[in-house]
Chain A
Amino acid sequence: MTVEEVRGNSEGGDRNYDHFPVGMRVLAVDDDPICLKLLDGLLRKCQYHVTTTSQARAALKMLRENKDRFDLVISDVHMPDMDGFKLLELVGLEMDLPVIMLSANSDPKLVMKGVTHGACDYLVKPVRIEELRNIWQHVIRRKKFDTNKQGKSTYEDKALQGHGDVCQGHQNTGTTDQNGKLNKKRKDEEDESEDTGNDHEDPSTQKKPRVVWSIELHRKFVAAVNQLGIEKAVPKRILDLMNVEGLTRENVASHLQKYRLYLKRISSVATQQANMVAALGGKDAAYMRMSTLDGFGDFRTLSGSGRLSNPAFASYTQGGMLGRLNSPAGINLRNLASPTVVHPSHAQTLNNSTGTLGKLHPAVSPASQTASVFQGVPSSLELDQLQQNKSAMHIGDFNPMDDSRIFGAPSAFTDARALAINSNSNLTGVPNNSLMLQGNSQQILAGGGFVDQSSFPSELFNRDVGVSSKFVDHGRTNENWQSAVQLSKFPSNALAPNDSFSQGQLPLSSVRDNNSSAGPHQQNSPLGFSSTATTAAPLEDSRGEIQCQEGLVSGSVQNLSQASAQRWGVSKQSYSHNSNNSFSTLNPQASPPLSQSMGQTGITDRRMDMCLTGQSGVGISSFLQHSQVENPTTGSRTRSGEDYMLEQIRPQGGFVPNSYDSLDDLMSAIKREPNGSMFDGDMGFDAYQFGSCI
């Protein structure tokens, strides 16, 4: 039974469910064999097609292998190999599938946690069959919302796919909401053809209620959200503030949901990445593009196991991440970045303050700085680099386009990320580098900054990328190494390393070759971060603990494998995690890049945000927390593990902090979010706290 995936459906989402919900494909995850067997029986009784697994990682693997294989995921909260909430986030970010949480514990706090992490329902064991009979509604609901964004997504998706057409993403106005990105990923695959029309700004002209979240639209959205305050931001009020004709409350609600997830993600990633991205290239468009997608791509790849629990990031990656810039998500980033962009200058302080792992807080400012740094990065470079790096970073799908975009978009995204990263000082030698990486992968991409062009040794990247994507985890210092941040390595400018990125060049990500070494080195330890950008002149030291949310990096980094890293150009900022430990998350694989990058640019560390550039949600995987290593080691990644600060890319060179603004805001917003815990688990999202990253 089971409806075969209908690929190529224009709708992308439509499975051939002739008799839906009969045949709905459910993936059930629970370590308790009794419950699993029970669930299996119950679901079969409802005539769903059931796949069970007791391992969360196995579940993720299955999901990643084929996003279209399932329609819904039901997961236990309490599992030994991975926290259910983390899985939830990851799934939401990477695959944008509805997830239902299950637990024997009906504590309202847990239920709330489920909600904030994006679960579409929370069931208490023992589950009754009546409760399961209606779960199909979540699938339909999501599809409906996605359709709205479809247009965008497909568009983005295409872009991501490496259309190589940067403009595409660009045009797409990057808006694609963050979620859209996720959705897009899925959808895109399915309906490539679908939406191209979405062009931006056309909120509801189409027949289908698709809203293309163009950059401007997203900017307005972010501005509205910031104005209201992320906690108070309700769709109705946002809608009023935005004052856009034709936009419906549902559109906003859906976009907001994605945005929130994105924020969470980035926060963990540490704004650094965002910064990096911003620094990279200020090109919003480019940046956005960059991030979007690939970030997500990373997610997937990165995640390996890591949980990129930053769904938010995923979406966020848009901005920073390569790839889906087109998607609104990308735009979101931008916008996001702005509000949240913490001033890069502050970044440092923020980072420092963050002290707390994963707390992104104030770091936001640094993020902004970094962001600005990124911005400064010459977009042109980025683009080129991005293109080159395509291969490198490819965390997920890092399209060369993305690269360019990433830079362009560094804007918010990185910032946010940087912020996030910063806050988390988690980077402490995360013991699980691998995790980080995995999770980070997503983030890394997000780093958008990955413009790892050429020199970036893909491995560098990979490593970084894998790095901690969101390791914001509190405990995890590494986590946030968003190696992703590796903003592309702009060989030329960027790495001016030491000098700051700002030069406009995006040194940030420039993962310079030197940095790239970061890849290999990874892990130096805590950093696990992708050494990004070293290019950028040591971002000023954003010492702050920029937690690079390398998280993305980690996971993805691996995947990214070097090629992507290259693309990313993002030099993962080898953030030297100040705490050193923080990044351990970077998987060994990924970490090297970070460390390397750090050393390289002389900036060392700071730039972690490069990860921000992360594309797609990846989030800032490399948000490396910069511990500011400032090592000027230049070139050779000094970091070895030291604390690379992911510096938020402080505007050393004058990066474009702009983008950050939104990111910063984002970050701050995220911080404000009650749960920073998005990343409880691996992702170490302390992230929300962004700010600190930078």
Chain B
Amino acid sequence: MLSSKASCNSHGEDSSYFLGWQLYDNNPFHGVVNPTGIIQMGLAENQLSFDLVESWLRKNLDAMGLKKDGESVFREALFQDYHGLPAFKKELVEYMAKIRGNKVTFDPNNLVLAAGATSANETLIFCLVDPGQAILLPTPYYPGFNRDLKWRTGVEIVPVHCWSSNGFRITMSALEDAYQSAQTLNLKVKGVLITNPSNPLGTTMTREERSHLITFAIAKNIHIISDEVFAGTVFDSPGFISIMEAAMDRSLENENPGLWNRIHIVYSLSKDLGLPGFRVGMIYSNNETVVSAATRMSSFGLVSSQTQYLLSNMLANKKFTSKYMKENQKRLKRKKEMLVSGLRTSGMECLKSNAGLFCWVDMRHLLSSNTFEAETKLWKTILCEVGLNMTAGESCHCSEPGWLRVCFANMSQATLQIAMRRLRDFAER
């Protein structure tokens, strides 16, 4: 009666990742109204810097009011050109460059807007991979990828296993192993998708990892998709090196134009600027055909012109964006350090991280056995008894049990303190 897509569960929403959210929705913590409720530590959102954005908005009412110099530009409500508002794309590429320390420049003509990175990722896969083919993903990875990359596209994900023994870094042999697995499964590999900075690890890619990737992509003649949605959340050294910068450093445009045309970036304003509700995502590619096809596909998920107008004005204010980036990074660092020390007090160590809105926490010593069943039991206990919704490593396809992702940027200092206290009490038991 319905399609197989509608009746299957490739949307992946039966995973614990989403179950935890549901339980949280039924009993959400609130400092005053529901102090014993579940604290949401499974949502990677940046809520630390709204006051900065709001103060800009107060001083720039025209942008919200769809006005320019006091005159109504409500006609923008008609704008549905899938090439995007030119002023907005210009500001976006400048902002993207700024985040990368202006060590790369981007051409607005190579930018395709999408309704969030969710849409951007799916669209890129539709453009690069046929149903039944595969892409490689280093583990652990964002649980939503199962839905975003596979569900409607019919594409397979083959994991590139990374291990705690070397800090979950991508190795050449892991890449080769994944490629071999795909071959064994008779799957044609079209590309590798990395998230840099990593979700859930909170780390930026090392020079070595970048080098492996590029060498591998050249050898196998495949694409590299670099999901850089957390690029603006790098709050500590080492700094962030975009795949584009790495490509430029190796002069790929001249030395290997083939690979230059197979490198694509996904970005969004949801994590950096903390505006997930506005649905602003984008694809950046040097490949003309990809840009053209993706632009047409963006018809299925355009960005509201009301939003494009507002944000092009905000990003045009360079003083604001500089101030925002600096302050945002400071606040993220502070919160993260609070979480790390709080966890340490409870006997839990985090993977050393310099980015993201979360920590990757080692709870292996709390497992009753070195199995995913034990991990699920632990996760459930923390959710139901301690009242903290964290993300189990298994839902991130981690190859080893015992690791959990814990978010810190979506709550106040006070809430974080309460969460740490609850965890301490639990650990003492």
A binds B: no
B-side interface residues toward A, CB under 8 Å? none
